[in-house]
């Protein structure tokens, strides 16, 4: 990841979300509950899709990996956050900090492109239903998934290497509850303008590409739905996309708010609230969104449970 230049700090201290012991206890209980729901929800979603043959389709193939990514990047952040809330030790080593940052970016960037792959899948299913089995072949699904992970690793490597070349020679106190780009840049005593540009280009290009694919897919989907004569047909088509569109809206709005802005507009309070939402809350919401609004998943869960009896 590069070497640390002219740095005199032995590691970092994560200040967390609050100094109040009572508030820390409340937050630790709340985050623990959310994390347990996240683990159960996402692991349950993966298990149900794997065990039920009726869900072995491209849409649920992508949904399985969405659950895996949510589970992964929540696990990169939440356990360390819980440790910091429950103990007085808030230290994190250089290596530990950058490992956390690296894998958080990997999973977050991969999820952006995976969501766009899911949008393309819905476009083909609604706009070109007769060609759906041919277009959304196993090979294409695996290629789209592999591309998401490759972009995630490349994006994260570029960001981590760029940040690791900065000087950290004064304070080592990170005003945040995990190692994220903005608070680390704010801590550096180097000129961070070049690194900010690199991060903006990486994050911006990833988000822009994903949003173009998602927007183009849903414009075509909406056009096709409006041409359906049957009211029941329109409702069925809308319900097919509703869960994904809701998940996309929540995920992208918080990511754009947090990352596509200059360092000068960094606000500790606003960014911490947004960060809690997309690192801890959204991974819990996704399995609820995709299961509670999906009759096929609920039916599959019932079938799986009956088999276990």
Distance CA 263, CA 266 (A): 5
CB 152 within 8 A of CB 97: no
The 10s digit of each residue's pLDDT in 13-23 is 888 787 888 88
The 10s digit of each residue's pLDDT in 71-103 is 998 999 999 999 888 887 788 888 888 899 999
Residue ranges per domain, the chain? 12-308
Pairing type for strands 12-14 and 173-174 reads parallel
pLDDT at residue 2 is higher than 60 = no
pLDDT at residue 277 is higher than 80 = yes
The 10s digit of each residue's pLDDT in 186-210 is 888 888 888 888 988 888 888 889 9
The 10s digit of each residue's pLDDT in 220-238 is 988 888 887 777 767 777 7
pLDDT at residue 165 is higher than 70 = yes
**How confident is the model over 136-145, as a mean pLDDT?**
95
CB 230 within 8 A of CB 133: no
Distance CA 108, CA 259 (A): 12
Phi, psi of 14, deg, nearest 5: -90, 115
Distance CA 294, CA 309 (A): 23
Query: What end-to-end distance do the CA atoms of the chain give, in Å?
Result: 50
pLDDT at residue 60 is higher than 70 = yes
Buried b (16+ CB within 10 A) or exposed e, 249-277: ebbbebbeebbeeebeebeeeebbebbbb
Which CATH superfamily does the domain covering 12-308 fall into? Answer: Rhodopsin 7-helix transmembrane proteins (1.20.1070.10)
Q: Could you identify the residue written with the tokens 């809206």?
A: 249
The whole-angstrom distance between residue 129's C-alpha and the CA centroid of its chain comes to 29
Q: Could you identify the residue written with the tokens 């994260």?
A: 156
Identify the bridge partners of residue 12 per DSSP, sorted by sequence position: 92
pLDDT at residue 56 is higher than 80 = yes
Supply the mean pLDDT for the chain. Answer: 84
Q: Name the DSSP class of 281.
A: I
CB 187 within 8 A of CB 173: yes
Distance CA 145, CA 160 (A): 23
- Name, in order, each residue with C-beta under 8 angstroms of 36's C-beta and a sequence gap of 6 or more: none
């Amino acid at each position: 990841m590069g070497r640390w230049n002219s740095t005199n700090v032995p590691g970092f201290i994560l200040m967390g979300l609050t100094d109040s012991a009572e508030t820390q206890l409340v937050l630790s209980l709340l985050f623990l509950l959310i994390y347990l729901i996240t683990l159960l929800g996402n692991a349950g979603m993966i298990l149900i899709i794997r065990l039920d043959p009726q869900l072995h389709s491209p849409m649920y193939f992508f949904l399985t990996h969405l659950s895996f990514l949510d589970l992964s990047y929540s696990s990169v952040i939440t356990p360390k956050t819980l440790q910091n809330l429950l103990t007085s030790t808030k230290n994190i080593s250089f290596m530990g900090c950058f490992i956390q940052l690296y894998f958080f970016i990997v999973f977050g960037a991969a999820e952006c492109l995976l969501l766009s792959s899911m949008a393309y899948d819905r476009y083909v299913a609604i706009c070109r239903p007769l060609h759906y089995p041919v277009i959304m072949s196993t090979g294409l699904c695996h290629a789209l998934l592999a591309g998401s992970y490759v972009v995630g690793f490349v994006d994260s490597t570029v960001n981590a290497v760029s940040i690791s070349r900065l000087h950290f020679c004064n304070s080592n106190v990170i005003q945040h509850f995990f190692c994220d780009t903005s608070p680390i840049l704010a801590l550096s005593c180097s000129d961070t303008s070049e690194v900010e540009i690199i991060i903006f280009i990486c994050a911006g290009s990833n988000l822009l590409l994903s949003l173009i694919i998602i927007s183009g897919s849903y414009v075509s989907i909406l056009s096709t739905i409006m041409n359906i004569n049957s009211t029941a047909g329109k409702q069925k088509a809308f319900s097919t996309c509703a869960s994904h569109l809701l998940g996309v809206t929540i995920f992208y709005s918080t990511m754009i708010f947090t990352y596509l802005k200059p360092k000068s507009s960094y606000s500790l309070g606003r960014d911490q609230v947004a960060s809690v939402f997309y690192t801890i809350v959204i991974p819990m919401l996704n399995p609820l969104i995709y299961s509670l609004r999906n009759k096929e998943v609920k039916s599959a869960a019932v079938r799986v449970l009956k088999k276990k009896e």
